[in-house]
Amino acid sequence: MRRKLVVGNWKMNGGLSQNQLLLNSLTQQLKGLQGVDIAVCVPYPYLHQAKMLLAGSNIQWGAQNISRFSEGAYTASISAEMVADFGCTYALIGHSERRAASQESNHSAAQRFSQALHGGITPIFCVGETLTERQLGLAQSVVKNQVLAILNGLDSATFELGKYHHAVIAYEPVWAIGAKQTAQPSEAQEMHHFIRTLVSTYDADYAAALRLIYGGSVTPENASSLFSMPDIDGGLIGRASLDALKFRRICEAASPVTVVK
């Protein structure tokens, strides 16, 4: 059985003092919660702070992106090896906000995915369609091309690294990110099942073990219904991850262990 994963994406939010309050609150709120993997992906300047405050807790930490290069004359770029120095477990790759703001292509996202694996980082590869693409009936086609970028773009050795480092795919419909609407559990399940079926054509065992998580306005109110779907293995949480109580409730929805309050 796949263990659920809940990842907070802080995006461009935070500061030293408010981070300390939030991280300390998270460690207290989530202490003892069992049966679910938990992480927060923080802005680069705060990776050291996250490492210091989360060490020894049940919360892992990660970066929000990495470079498609390992080193060199790439001013302002951050490599997988650099974030690994801060004890990062995860890195978000190909988030729609990065694809839009930086013209990230499927190819360059796949390169970052590969760099993460070779740097010992678990990539969380984000895929998803816009509202226009969904309305035009192109949702599965768009997501298929995004997933194929890593399935077709990796050599066999790197693909094996993906298994070893338990690479994750996050389905985030662009129209639901930061919005008041979210995909219905059945809609999200349909796409998650589509992705798992697609991966199974390359490696059935890997597809069965692959964690597929949902992002797109996950809240304490809808988390249980989303996480109850057979192919949804957790969530990538934006706004609610900045509130320790809300984030705890979402993590509780992902835990198979009944929480006694």
Residues marked active site are found at 95, 172
Q: What are phi and psi of 152, to 5 degrees?
A: -90, -20
Rounded (10°) CA dihedral 195, 197, 203, 207: 60
Residue 6: closest CA among 232, 261, 258: 232
Q: How far apart are CA 210 and CA 193, in angstroms?
A: 11
H helices of the chain, in order, are 16-30, 47-54, 80-84, 96-101, 106-118, 131-135, 139-151, 156-164, 185-200, 204-209, 223-227, 244-254
Q: How far apart are CA 131 and CA 111, in angstroms?
A: 26
Paired strand residues for 7 = 39, 236
Please list, in sequence order, all residues whose beta carbon lies within 8 angstroms of the beta carbon of residue 20, skipping any fewer than 6 positions away.
49, 53
